Amino acid sequence: MHELPKLPYEYNALEPYVDARTMEIHHSKHHQAYITKLNAALEGYPELAALDIETLLQQVDTVPEKIRQAVMNHGGGHANHSLFWTIMRPVTPAVGTGTEIADNAPTGELAEAIASAFGTFDAFKLSLFDAGIGRFGSGWAWLVVDSKAQAGVTGRSTPALSVISTQNQDSPLMQGLTPILGIDVWEHAYYLTYQNKRDEYIKAWWNVVNWEEVARRFTAATITAAIA
């Protein structure tokens, strides 16, 4: 049985960029609803219920047609939000100021891979911004690892990075891709603070990205691709 993951921070920890009330509703109501409905769909299918959510979505084409759409909708919602919470973190004040935030950007191999794929970090941010703004209605914008495509980074071959968007709660896992960063562009993720200004929400959201977690996911995806 799938359960609601505990957040690694308090509901107000991402303010002023993501407000506490939005976080509370988003986590305890929306995410919980996906889990409740996913568990209901999997009743009577113990072998599927025993799978972790990532494996279930990677194998969604083998799920009985009777429950497949429910698993895609609610399982996708569970997986997407579980990742979303972990790739955000409280804002770190800039040294010596106590108020301004420090530069928030990836480093190391992830930074190299982003530069290889997009040219610059700013070009990557623009690509994700465009994906989020361009998603009509509800959905997500993602940075994904494609283990089938290869990119040269500092003299070696590694899985390629790309930006995609998905509708509703579709997960990149269903396409054989590994998401390492994603932004929720459903209105419930930002409306209380930003109303219909999705662009302002996306720009503000960069301040709370947890690049250490994104890098960890990138490394894990790279290792998995090398073993496969």
Lowest-pLDDT choice from 89-98, 131-140, 150-159, 203-212: 150-159
pLDDT digits (tens, 9 = 90+) for 210-225: 999 999 999 999 887 6
- Tens-digit pLDDT profile for residues 173-201: 999 999 999 999 999 999 999 999 999 99
Statement to judge: residues 116 and 72 lie in one domain: no
**Per-residue pLDDT, 206:** 97
Residues 127 and 25 in one domain: no
At 166, which CATH number? 3.55.40.20
- For the full predicted model, state whether its pTM sits above 0.85: yes
Looking at the fold, whether 223 and 117 belong to one and the same domain comes out as: yes
* Domain CATH for 82: 1.10.287.990
Query: What's the pLDDT score for residue 178?
Result: 97
**Domain count along the chain:** 2
Alpha carbons 66 and 6: distance in angstroms, whole number: 31
Q: Which of 152, 180, 173 is nearest to 51 (CA)?
A: 173
Region 141-158: what's the mean pLDDT?
A: 71
Asked if residue 77 and residue 39 are part of one domain, the reply reads yes
Calpha distance 164→218 (Å, rounded): 16
The pLDDT assigned to 224 comes to 72
With respect to residue 98, please indicate whether it lies within any of the assigned structural domains: no
- Examine the domain organization and report whether 122 and 71 are in the same domain: no
196, 158: one domain:
yes
Cis peptide bond prior to 16, omega within 30° of 0: yes
Does one domain contain both 54 and 165? no
pLDDT band at 32 (very low <50, low <70, confident <90, very high): very high
DSSP state of 90: P
The answer to whether residues 138 and 168 touch, using CB atoms and an 8 Å cutoff, is yes
Let me know if residue 178 belongs to a domain. yes
Instruction: Please indicate, yes or no, if residue 136 is contained in any of the structural domains.
Output: yes
The token duo for 138 is: 């509800």
Residues 170 and 210 in one domain: yes
3-state secondary structure of 40: helix
Write down the pLDDT at residue 99.
47
**Degrees to nearest 5, angle at CA 160 with 149 and 183:** 125
- Residue 59 in domain: yes
User: Is 122 within 8 Å of 206 (Cβ atoms)?
Assistant: no
Q: Do residue 117 and residue 223 come from a single domain?
A: yes
Average pLDDT, the chain: 92
The domain in which residue 54 lies consists of: 20-86
User: Where does the pLDDT of residue 147 fall: very low under 50, low under 70, confident under 90, or very high at 90 and above?
Assistant: confident
Top pLDDT among 223 and 52 is at: 52
Same domain, 180 and 140: yes
Secondary element (H or E) of residue 157: strand 156-167
C-beta of residue 163 within 8 angstroms of C-beta of residue 143: yes
Same domain, yes or no, for 117 and 219?
A: yes
116 shares its domain with 208:
yes
196 lies in some domain: yes
Whether 101 is in a domain gets the answer: no
Query: Would 97 be classed as within a structural domain?
Result: no
Sheet of 139-153, strand order:
156-167, 139-153, 178-184
Which residue would you say has higher pLDDT here, 100 or 139? Answer: 139
Any domain includes 93: no
SS3 139: strand
